Structure 1
């Protein structure tokens, strides 16, 4: 989604709320935002919006580049292109001009995603580009450098002559210099700090509260289970205050009395930044079905043994397992996933529901995927395109998995159930119901979109399948070809 005029206006007004004395000096920018022209187009005259960033290291030095056209030492920056936000434009320019990776940078608690400065400066005419004299309204952001050792710079030599790290006191821009010194007095010291907070909520009996996030553009870890929590705002007095505000916004009925810092984790933002996260632990024994969930799709208890069946945000499974190992339930061994009270009659056992896509091309060949060698299940083995049902209809799950794993678009009206395998792997394993659906038609060519799960898609003649096929996949294929709707596996061996 391209950057919008309203985003620039909102960012500007928030900045002016912090610096009301600069409204007069930014009158040209406000006039630009009120006009008809695109404020970020470099052809818009007499001025347009640009973005730059002060990258601050642990020695409180700021990265400057030698600008080939002007001969000046400047903070990395430039014109807005197809960027989602002003912040994203500044990040892209830093990465392009210096070669620093986005993941080597993070936001600062003092400014977060807000500009430290909006500078107005004149630009000389450039006859070679056909540009006359004009002004830049430069939105300047602050990033911390994450690694203790500086990453190797790879300068864009067409525009940049060299790079230098200057002490804060030597920063060349007067307005940026003054604001960086003020920020240092408020704690800006070049050391990365957590700017997000998450809640590792458990019930004291081995279960953990997980939140299924929405699936939409611009949201972090979409359509995955994650911890409740979110990003710090300027108004938050502490990271615990951040977390309590987020809990009140996301799940108003969920009250956790004590929140204790547990771990520091790191994630990646939608723009590619490193995001240090302070994880707090807390105990709660309520029923998630009774609270008002205002963000996301689902809130539910899970035990560690169920994690491999879920689509999780990166690193979450390891975090939960580590906590579970350190906090064994006082009333017995670690919990296993079980039906919650009153959900089903006594003795009912929870089954895992899987959906599988049976796809034939015009030559009668069947589509199978080669699972990644490091996969927790059936590594280096051929398998259907498949997935586990979350809180959704089985066919909707199938359509989602086909789109996410291989880029295939299937109409639900073109899907039919052709086989069911009732499976148990061992006497102690949870039983599975594997639903095999045939799609009569589809749009798209199979592509590897989740390389950590599947490394190749290939069409196979059903009479010449490879040796390494998941056993129940082979059984299901035989059943479909024979016209059988049902088979079972593993029950006689229990």
Structure 2
């Protein structure tokens, strides 16, 4: 049996003892409890009781889900079921069904075991597909805390398209937001990095260092350091910050820069500054660069660094990066290493057998919204590849797995959070643009759910994101992207292009 009428009435009255000023606002609910119809039945009109779960994590954020049917961002919740003994149990069940969070990973908020934190009356639009007229939900919302911070979310794909954790001041419901701001301690302030530096390395295993001016008042005076600087008002991201600093300090452009670490750099006065470190490969001559700050730029092998005036933080960064990346093969088309300072690791893998051709691996995100439309981005008109054409969210694998690459690129390019557990292989395209060119393996993954709304994070590469009806794709779509979409729709896993 679902929660009884007496249980619901007792619960509502206990809530009104805490919030007597809301009695008038809940007149419709109190009237419904006086009628003979089951107050929890979906068929009871003009409204019926539902239950919501308000889940707060360890830093005071509140879980919200992206509801497919309504397109709204809401707290988990829904209708009661016959097996629900109490309203709180119904809320907990809905939380588990919609997010996959096990009931053992959460606990009632102290003092709110049996009393909801909020009761809200809201309108529900008519749903002709289900033959449901417009009606009301009397939503009793129960407050829980997340006890297991390592728990993974596995949203219910049929109803949930994504999720996000919001601070209490961004909770969607005004009445709930007001109560949570009084109950939930504010999240501790987290000082994120506002500086960015570039860890530039070449195929000889050397690192590009910048000799700073030895004058008082600057950071690390007279030391060898990384190029970089502080974020400025026009920078929309730290990626833009580090690229701007490279251009301004050395007229240097690096094609690919990847977040490597966040470090606390310490100045001579003891001050510490959080810095986001980006790593990128470049095989040029520092003498050809136009240096506007400092004394000089030079390549150094890691084993030379202890002889330099260099901060322990920078020395440790280089050593860690070198240890993790010493087996990376040279970039395609890069000049052969000329330095004798770098000796390859004895454990490095043997060269590929004669006749083997290395293939470039690309990773692509196939994302569909509730209407089955596919996410595509329009590439920048100045892009070296496919200018102004529409393309998947994509990137090349670095020293990482394909899934790790997908998660990283989704975050960097569009601000989307992808759970690898919600990703499946959708298609693979093996292509060659022209005979004799480098073969490419293009892996297309489908994400069953995600968190966030697509936004332009790399405006130099993409001018906008949009979901497209696969039957009405724009004319200018990268050919293998179009082929992959067609293959996915037809149930094929593999396509070849350009081979003779």
Task: Decide: shared fold, TM above 0.5.
Answer: no
| TM-score w.r.t. length of structure 2 | 0.40
TM-score (norm 1): 0.41
